[in-house]
Amino acid sequence: MQLAMTLWCAVAFFGNAANSVTAYLCSKDGSGTAQEILWTSKYDGHESFLPGPGSVWIISDTYVINGEQHLFLYHRPTKIFVPPVRLKSTTENVSNFTGEYRVDLHPRFSRDGRIICIDATHEGLSRQMYTMNIGDILDHPPTY
């Protein structure tokens, strides 16, 4: 198995012949050894760990799927996905926002982890930055 991409030195993705991508949590010793399967999907994205002890939350996005981009939080202890938003993609009709120049959400956390910031074009404007407060999700995590 060949390592396809490493993000933040902790999450790695491997693709297979079935056109699926598996996200693995890698060891922190720098060896790249997969220690935990996080999820398997047809789509990969831009992952980041929520700052704080235990790294229990991962945020990610997807490329455009049926005209929409998805933002999700993954809660590692319960293996539950929490989708804070799904946005209409308006970039297909703008020639300079396709292919290599598409607009991915590229989610990132504030230092305290309670605010998410994304790039988006869902309002039909040019590329804009948007923020959302996820404090309620963090204060009330999913249960088994």
* Distance in angstroms (rounded) separating the CA atoms of residues 37 and 35: 7
Q: How far is CA 98 from the centre of its chain?
A: 20
User: Three-state DSSP class for 123?
Assistant: coil
Segment 95-142, tens digit of pLDDT: 555 555 567 788 888 988 899 998 877 777 777 888 999 999 999 988
- Identify which has the larger pLDDT, 38 or 77: 77
The pLDDT of residue 50 is above 90: no
Residue found by looking up tokens 């930055």 in the block: 129
CATH number of the 45-144 domain: 2.120.10.30
Q: Per-domain residue ranges for the chain? A: 1-42, 45-144
pTM for this model (two decimals): 0.74
Residue type, 48: S
Sheet strands side by side (includes 68-75): 48-49, 57-61, 68-75, 80-88
Among 112, 139, 140, smallest CA distance to 131 is for 112
Segment 75-98, tens digit of pLDDT: 989 989 898 888 877 766 555 555
- Give the contacts of 100 (CB within 8 A, at least 6 positions apart): none
- Identify which has the larger pLDDT, 27 or 79: 79
